[in-house]
Amino acid sequence: MVRAGLTTERLVRAGAELADEVGFDNVTPSELARRFGVKVASLYSHVKNAHDLRTRIVLLALEELADRAAAALAGRSGRDALIAFADVHRDYARAHPGRFAAAQLRLDAETAAASAGVRHAELMRAILRGYDLTGPDQTHAVRLLGSFFRGFVALEADGGFDHSPPAAPESWTRLLDVLDSLLRDWPRS
Amino acid sequence: MVRAGLTTERLVRAGAELADEVGFDNVTPSELARRFGVKVASLYSHVKNAHDLRTRIVLLALEELADRAAAALAGRSGRDALIAFADVHRDYARAHPGRFAAAQLRLDAETAAASAGVRHAELMRAILRGYDLTGPDQTHAVRLLGSFFRGFVALEADGGFDHSPPAAPESWTRLLDVLDSLLRDWPRS
DNA sequence: TCTCCTTGCCTAAAGCCTTTAGGTAAATCT
DNA sequence: AGATTTACCTAAAGGCTTTAGGCAAGGAGA
């Protein structure tokens, strides 16, 4: 009996690949076991259950995204930083649709607090340091950007922009310019 | 043997209620049958399969949302219309979390084209008629608003804003004002 | 009212998925 | 080499989905 060499790490990575291929919802212990040429029960030494597996994939995706975003932001500020950050999300969503879908999932409070989600918020604030926003308005702006990125990329991934011109990429660049201009000239309350 | 009086309509309505109670993902033929005090197989005369059931719930949610949005927009324009439209979404998401989650789901092209999703886009364009936006920029603005609404409400529903002040409702009203101001004073390319 | 027909709901069964319990053999340590 | 750990297995229970075929309730027509 040749061993397959399972580890939690390898399962989670393979689960992420699987998510990109067949969609996050179709990531199941059964399918994963099939891919490793292994019986399903064998996974349960490495992963608590199906939910645990999925949670770990979510955390992996959040880490990867935060890593890329941090790398893209290095040395940039203002409009450049905004666009770089946005494009990281968009590119990641296109290259890894399953992982990106995973990254949107709700985590329970403790898990979320320990996740790379925290780094995302910090990165976004770093971008806004290039604009003249402080206090509550900075938080509002973070939320605007976060909501827009999340919403746009999700809509694009779902094909929501496919059936009417202009094409999604054009809206994307235009809207980033609009947002940049909004952040530079933020309306005071 | 007293009949339960199943119809497709009643199943879909009950499915929507169920979604609000236990989450859209947990809407299963099994659970639905249990609620009607009926065997699972009995549902299959009224609904093609589990996916068909879920799709019908999505369509119901889209209809309900479009109805409410249309009602809210009647007689309003500009900032009032924007806020009314946004609040309809937010209120619906809070009152019917399962249905709202359903309304975000991807539909295949034909189903989507026949759905109330089309009305949503029209309503959003109607709002923008109150601002001076035409051509591609109008489409971009529709997408900005759509992305923001979808993203914000989803993040709020997931508790994404729970762990730092200011509270979500404050960001919501403030950001709607910011967007109103952005739409009134849209940066030209 | 009786009969017929539709159809609403049932039983049965097959197939897949998740999860737990307990066993065997491979890899690792001393 | 022997002992221990651990990777993977078999077995089994229970849930969900879906199809096929059957009975009886309720309405339609005589």
pLDDT digits (tens, 9 = 90+) for B62-81: 999 999 999 999 999 999 99
* Closest nt to residue B44, judged CA to C1': D18
Token output for A27: 């990531």
pLDDT for B7 beyond 70: yes
B178/A139 CB distance under 8 A: no
Contact of B53 with B16, CB cutoff 8 Å = no
Mutate to test the interface with B, among A143, A155, A182 (most CBs of B within 10 A): A143
Q: In whole angstroms, what is the distance from residue A92 CA to residue A106 CA?
A: 19
Tallying the residues shown for chain B, one arrives at 189
Mean pLDDT, residues B121-143? 91
Contact of A73 with A127, CB cutoff 8 Å = yes
Rounded percentage of chain B residues whose pLDDT exceeds 70: 99
A152/B163 CB distance under 8 A: no
Query: Does A8 contact B at CB distance below 8 Å?
Result: no
Token output for A142: 């973070």
Chains A and B: how many Cβ contacts under 8 Å? 109
The Cβ of residue B39 has, within 10 Å, a number of other Cβ atoms equal to 10
Of A19-33, A101-115, B84-98, the least confident = A101-115
Q: Is B78 left (phi over 0), alpha (psi -120 to 50) or beta?
A: left
* Closest nt to residue A32, judged CA to C1': C17
- Whether pTM exceeds 0.75: yes
pLDDT averaged over every residue in chain A: 92
Label residue B83 by pLDDT band (50, 70, 90). Answer: very high
pLDDT, tens digit, 9 for 90 and up, residues B139-174? 999 999 988 988 888 888 777 777 778 888 899 999
Query: Does A22 contact B at CB distance below 8 Å?
Result: no
Which residue from B minimizes the CA distance to A187? B178
Q: Can you give the pLDDT at residue A16?
A: 97
Contact of A22 with A98, CB cutoff 8 Å = yes
Q: Can you give the pLDDT at residue B105?
A: 86
Q: Can you give the pLDDT at residue B64?
A: 97
Residue A100 vs residues A11, A68, A112, A154, A181: alpha-carbon distances, Å = 18, 13, 16, 9, 28
Q: In whole angstroms, what is the distance from residue B153 CA to residue A178 CA?
A: 22
Q: Which residue has the higher pLDDT, B70 or A160?
A: B70
Residue B83 vs residues A143, A181, B86, B139, B171: alpha-carbon distances, Å = 17, 22, 5, 19, 13
Contacts of B148 in chain A (CB under 8 A): 144, 147-148, 151
Which residue from A minimizes the CA distance to B173? A140
Q: In whole angstroms, what is the distance from residue A185 CA to residue B132 CA?
A: 19
Mean pLDDT, residues A2-25? 92
B144/A146 CB distance under 8 A: no
Q: Which residue has the higher pLDDT, A126 or B108?
A: A126
Query: Does B94 contact A at CB distance below 8 Å?
Result: no
pLDDT for A38 beyond 90: yes
Contacts of B140 in chain A (CB under 8 A): 166, 171, 174-175, 178
pLDDT, tens digit, 9 for 90 and up, residues A89-123? 999 999 999 999 999 888 888 898 889 988 998 99
Q: In whole angstroms, what is the distance from residue B160 CA to residue A143 CA?
A: 10
pLDDT for B1 beyond 70: no
Provide the 8-state DSSP code for A40: G
Mean pLDDT, residues A40-66? 96
Q: Which amino acid is at A98?
A: G
Label residue A68 by pLDDT band (50, 70, 90). Answer: very high
DSSP one-letter string for A63-83: HHHHHHHHHHHTT--HHHHHH
- Which residues have CB under 8 Å from B75's CB, separation 6+? none
Contact of B34 with B17, CB cutoff 8 Å = no
* Closest nt to residue B33, judged CA to C1': C9
Protein-to-nucleotide distance from the CA of A96 to the C1' of C24, whole angstroms: 40
Of B37-51, B128-142, B160-174, the least confident = B160-174
Contacts of B164 in chain A (CB under 8 A): 139
Contacts of B189 in chain A (CB under 8 A): 174, 177
Axis crossing angle, helix B8-22 with helix B50-73, rounded to the nearest 10:
80
Q: Can you give the pLDDT at residue A44?
A: 96
A152/B165 CB distance under 8 A: no
User: ω before A97 within 30° of 0 (cis)?
Assistant: no
Label residue A1 by pLDDT band (50, 70, 90). Answer: low
- Give the one of B143, B150, B151 whose C-beta lies nearest to A171's C-beta: B143
- Which residues have CB under 8 Å from B54's CB, separation 6+? B15, B24, B27, B102, B105
B-contacting residues in A 33-72 (Cβ below 8 Å): none
